[in-house]
């Protein structure tokens, strides 16, 4: 919690002591390990996600090397299965979700005019738990191999494994158990991070908004973060339970999904997709929010139909819960269920259509500046349209049984999650980079990045529509010559190289832009209040918490317009009194330090990092059949986790000043 001491010099609370000396440094390498500042945490989420993006991208290149030609021999069947499984897990849980979380972490308090999130140390614990979850899952490569059942890991395949005969190795069952436990426990740990973040973001939005910021004055990105947090809050427990059941099923011969013991493999499908479909919106809604911020700024117009965009986002969040069975149209649920879920799926097209049309309406009549963030935002609008339309074709239930589990589906969800979510997120990186690091990225290289990514993306994923309709199933480690799939597979593999190249260009841009001149507080002539404070913002975000009177607060401090029909005119800094009846909002560069202003931020802490380390240690215990070893791991992990919780509880959020 943020504590603003009335008079720091006369605190009356007795000083409490932690277990060991509290870290105090707010700069230097060590400060990043102990920080509870939402901005540093957001940046670490972003860097971590981009590192995982490189790993997941290399896995994609391996997949495409294998499939570039018929009867490819780059990977064995076993390795291929591990690689495509890890590609899916990585991109979903360790790239797109955390990249969204990076923006939410960094921006939410700034956009709300808050000093930090509601629970800064829980924020830190989310980050570190996510990091250790990623390391835990990838540590599988050093043991018996990585999970190999695809990201959905349907039963009983997850139980049986690829090779019950044991031709690969004599202890095939033990190997499969180890791989699936990495899946089960790894995602379980990652889920803890998401759940903690969700609670944090919901509380932040509800409690930390600046004076005057009603919910309907909240920037759309904050709104979409709010909806995303609710989706996380309800989706994560479902997969958590399913993963827990999976662990018991595999490690302790539980009955849940094993047909030989009265279990039902379709139960896993229901539980997985009851999480898995909302998960799609968890990944795409932050990108929708980002685009809704970028388009108005570079069109120099307010968002067209603000409330329609907000409510369609809420509607997507709600409807997202009622469509999970559209992933199961081939499972034979019966005509009534198929019809209901087919219609619900079509319904989702309405709010998403509203969003697309409102974005076009935002640009209509504007002054469009083709900056790199704007290009990426337009990329999302156009590429997501394609993904949305192929999504509607999935709702044609009888025809979906032709599309399901083919490359047509692979094409569809890459248009949604790469053409949609990732284009939006890259746009966000270009847009807010100057805010976070004080310098703009190079526009020329940025445009090169955009165009190479757009071309590579379409070269990679557009032909997959054709491959799928021509009968090429997904998750095939090889395909025979003469099926008519050779040409487009070669094109797809070339396209994947172009995407890799585009990412290299992005990395070059980050490197060469280190020496760009300072960007200033508001380089884009933006509209929301995070651009009010300096770039990068001070630890306490704002010297004076802004009072909000409009959902384009910053714009109306810079421009005044007399009516909806007239063009606005620029006014002197400090805001125009006629637009802001509360009067001028004071000097935004006071020159005083936080301490001088009486602002007291939460102090760094070791406990979030220590707590997170306990979870993988305990999880490794599940891998041992020997009870004593298992218990020992549980004990060490448990002591670390619960001991950290105790230390955390005894440690005040902020030390008094002396």
Partner 1 sequence: MPADALQPFGPVAEAQDALWDLAYPIAIGVFVLVFAGLAYILVRFRDKGQEELPVQTHGNTRLEIVWTIIPALILVVIAIPTVQTIFDLAREPDPDSLIIDVVGKQYWWEFRYEEAGIWTASELHIPTGRDIYIRLDGSEPGNTTVYGQPPVMHSFWVPSLAGKRDYVPGAIREMRIQADEPGVYPGNCAEFCGLSHANMRFTVIAHSPEDYEAWVASQQEPALLAQDELVQQGQELFVSGACIGCHNITGHPDVDPDAPSRVGPDLTHFAAREAFAGYIFDSPFGEQVEDPDQAMENLRAWIRNSSAIKPGSHMPATQVDGAPVDGEQLDAIIAYLATLE
Looking at residues 473 to 492 of the shown chain, list those that interact with partner 1 (rule: CB under 8 A): 473, 475-480, 483-484
| Residues, the chain | 658
What are the two backbone dihedrals, phi and then psi, of residue 31, each rounded to the nearest 5 degrees?
Answer: -65, -25
Instruction: Report the alpha-carbon distance of residue 315 to residue 310 in Å, rounded.
Output: 9
Residue among 353 and 652 whose Cβ is closer to partner 1: 353
- Map tokens 């994609």 to a residue: 60
- Is 338 a residue that touches partner 1 (CB under 8 A)? yes
Instruction: Report the alpha-carbon distance of residue 338 to residue 333 in Å, rounded.
Output: 7
**CB 229, min distance to partner 1, A:** 26
Residue among 99 and 354 whose Cβ is closer to partner 1: 354
- Is 389 a residue that touches partner 1 (CB under 8 A)? yes
Residue among 259 and 586 whose Cβ is closer to partner 1: 259
Q: Site mask, partner 1, residues 533-562, x = CB under 8 A? A: --------------------------x-x-
Among 50, 133, 280, 386, binds partner 1 (CB under 8 A): 386
Q: What single-letter DSSP state applies at residue 439?
A: B
Provide CB contacts within 8 A for 25, sequence distance 6+.
31, 34, 604
- Is 458 a residue that touches partner 1 (CB under 8 A)? no
Among 33, 54, 61, 349, binds partner 1 (CB under 8 A): 349
Among 21, 335, 517, 581, binds partner 1 (CB under 8 A): 335
**CB 474, min distance to partner 1, A:** 8
Residue among 470 and 653 whose Cβ is closer to partner 1: 470
- Is 471 a residue that touches partner 1 (CB under 8 A)? yes
- Is 630 a residue that touches partner 1 (CB under 8 A)? no
Residue among 155 and 607 whose Cβ is closer to partner 1: 155
**CB 353, min distance to partner 1, A:** 4
Q: Site mask, partner 1, residues 112-151, x = CB under 8 A? A: -------------------------------------xx-
SS3 category, 536: coil
Among 54, 61, 74, 308, binds partner 1 (CB under 8 A): 308
Q: Site mask, partner 1, residues 258-297, x = CB under 8 A? A: xxx--xxxx-------------------------------
Please report the DSSP string for 11-30 in residue order: --SPPP--SSPPP---SSHH
Provide CB contacts within 8 A for 587, sequence distance 6+.
544, 574
| DSSP β-bridge partners for residue 600 | 3
Q: Considering just the CA atoms, what is the radius of gyration of the chain in Å?
A: 25
Whether 59 and 627 have beta carbons less than 8 Å apart is answered as: no
Instruction: Report the alpha-carbon distance of residue 36 to residue 32 in Å, rounded.
Output: 9
Among 14, 334, 517, 591, binds partner 1 (CB under 8 A): 334
Whether 379 and 340 have beta carbons less than 8 Å apart is answered as: no
Residue among 237 and 365 whose Cβ is closer to partner 1: 365
- Is 644 a residue that touches partner 1 (CB under 8 A)? no
- Is 14 a residue that touches partner 1 (CB under 8 A)? no
| Of 90-98, 159-167, 198-206, 586-594: span binding partner 1 (CB under 8 A) | 159-167
Instruction: Report the alpha-carbon distance of residue 635 to residue 629 in Å, rounded.
Output: 10
Residue among 484 and 586 whose Cβ is closer to partner 1: 484
- Is 3 a residue that touches partner 1 (CB under 8 A)? no
| Of 45-53, 133-141, 214-222, 464-472: span binding partner 1 (CB under 8 A) | 464-472
| Of 214-222, 382-390, 421-429, 500-508: span binding partner 1 (CB under 8 A) | 382-390
Helix (H) or strand (E) holding 32: helix 29-34
Please report the DSSP string for 65-97 in residue order: HHHSSTT--SS-HHHHHHHHHHHHHIIIIIIIH
Please report the DSSP string for 539-602 in residue order: TTS-SSPPPP-STTHHHHHHEE-SSTTSPPEE--TT--TTT-TT-----S-----HHHHT-BPP
Dihedral (Cα; 229, 522, 579, 546), 10-degree rounding = 60
Whether 358 and 303 have beta carbons less than 8 Å apart is answered as: yes
Whether 348 and 320 have beta carbons less than 8 Å apart is answered as: yes
- Is 460 a residue that touches partner 1 (CB under 8 A)? no
**CB 285, min distance to partner 1, A:** 19
Whether 329 and 338 have beta carbons less than 8 Å apart is answered as: yes
- Is 366 a residue that touches partner 1 (CB under 8 A)? yes
Among 61, 65, 347, 636, binds partner 1 (CB under 8 A): 347
| Of 222-230, 566-574, 631-639, 646-654: span binding partner 1 (CB under 8 A) | 566-574
Count, residues near partner 1 per rule CB under 8 A: 107
Instruction: Report the alpha-carbon distance of residue 66 to residue 81 in Å, rounded.
Output: 11
| Of 116-124, 352-360, 457-465, 631-639: span binding partner 1 (CB under 8 A) | 352-360
């Amino acid at each position: 919690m943020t504590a603003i001491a009335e008079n720091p010099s006369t605190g009356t609370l007795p000083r409490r002591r932690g277990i060991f000396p509290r870290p105090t440094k707010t700069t230097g390498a060590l400060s990043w390990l102990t920080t509870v500042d939402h901005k540093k945490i957001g940046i670490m989420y972003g860097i971590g996600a981009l590192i995982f993006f490189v790993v997941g991208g290399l896995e994609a290149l391996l997949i495409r090397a294998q499939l570039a030609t018929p009867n490819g021999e780059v990977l064995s069947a076993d390795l291929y299965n591990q690689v495509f499984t890890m590609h899916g897990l990585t991109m979903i849980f360790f790239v797109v979700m955390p990249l969204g979380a990076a923006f939410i972490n960094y921006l939410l308090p700034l956009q709300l005019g808050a000093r930090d999130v509601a629970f800064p140390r829980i924020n830190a614990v989310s980050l570190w738990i996510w990091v250790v979850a990623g390391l835990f899952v990838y540590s599988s490569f050093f043991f018996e191999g990585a999970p190999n059942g695809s990201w959905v890991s349907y039963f009983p395949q997850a139980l049986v494994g690829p090779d019950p005969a044991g031709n690969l190795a004599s202890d095939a069952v033990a190997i499969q158990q180890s791989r699936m436990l990495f899946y089960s426990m790894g995602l379980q740990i990652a889920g803890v991070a998401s759940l903690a973040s969700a609670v944090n973001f919901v509380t932040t939005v509800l409690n930390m908004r600046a004076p005057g910021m009603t919910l309907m004055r909240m920037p759309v990105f904050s709104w979409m973060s709010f909806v995303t947090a609710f989706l996380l809050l309800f989706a994560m427990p479902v997969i958590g339970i399913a993963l827990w059941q999976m662990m018991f099923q595999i490690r302790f011969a539980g009955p849940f999904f094993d047909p030989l013991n009265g279990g039902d493999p379709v139960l896993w499908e229901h539980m997985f997709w009851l999480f898995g479909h909302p998960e799609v919106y968890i990944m795409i809604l932050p990108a929708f929010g980002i685009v809704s911020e970028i388009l108005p700024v570079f069109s120099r117009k307010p968002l067209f139909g603000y409330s329609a965009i907000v409510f369609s986002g809420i509607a997507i969040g709600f409807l997202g819960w009622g469509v999970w069975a559209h992933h199961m149209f081939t499972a034979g649920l019966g005509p009534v269920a198929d019809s209901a879920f087919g219609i619900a799926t079509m319904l989702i097209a309405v709010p998403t259509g509203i969003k697309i049309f409102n974005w076009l309406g935002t640009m209509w009549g504007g002054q469009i500046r083709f900056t790199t963030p704007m290009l990426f935002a337009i990329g999302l609008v156009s590429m997501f349209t394609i993904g949305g339309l192929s999504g509607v074709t999935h709702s044609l239930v009888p025809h979906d049984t032709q599309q399901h589990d083919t490359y047509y589906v692979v094409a569809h969800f890459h248009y949604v999650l790469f053409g949609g979510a990732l284009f939006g997120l890259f746009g966000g990186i270009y847009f807010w980079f100057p805010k976070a690091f004080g310098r703009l990225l190079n526009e020329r290289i940025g445009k090169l990045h955009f165009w190479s990514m757009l071309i590579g993306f379409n070269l990679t994923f557009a032909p997959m529509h054709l491959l799928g309709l021509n009968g090429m199933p997904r998750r095939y480690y090889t395909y025979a010559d003469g099926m008519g799939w050779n040409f487009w597979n070669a094109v797809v593999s070339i396209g994947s190289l172009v995407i890799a190249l585009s990412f290299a260009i992005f990395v070059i841009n980050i490197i060469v832009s280190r020496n760009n001149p300072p960007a200033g507080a508001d380089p884009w002539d933006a509209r929301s209040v995070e651009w009010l404070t300096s770039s990068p913002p001070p630890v306490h975000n704002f010297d004076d918490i802004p009072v909000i009177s409009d959902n384009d607060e910053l714009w109306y401090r810079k421009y005044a317009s007399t009516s909806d029909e007239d063009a606005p005119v620029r006014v002197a800094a400090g805001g125009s009194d006629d637009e802001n009846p509360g009067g001028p909002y004071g000097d935004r560069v006071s020159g005083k330090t936080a301490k001088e202003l009486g602002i007291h931020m939460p102090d760094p802490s070791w406990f979030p990092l220590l707590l997170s380390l306990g979870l993988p240690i305990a999880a490794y215990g599940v891998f041992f059949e020997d009870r004593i070893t298992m218990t020992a791991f549980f004990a060490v992990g448990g002591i670390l986790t619960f001991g950290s919780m105790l230390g955390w509880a005894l440690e005040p959020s902020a030390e008094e000043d002396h």
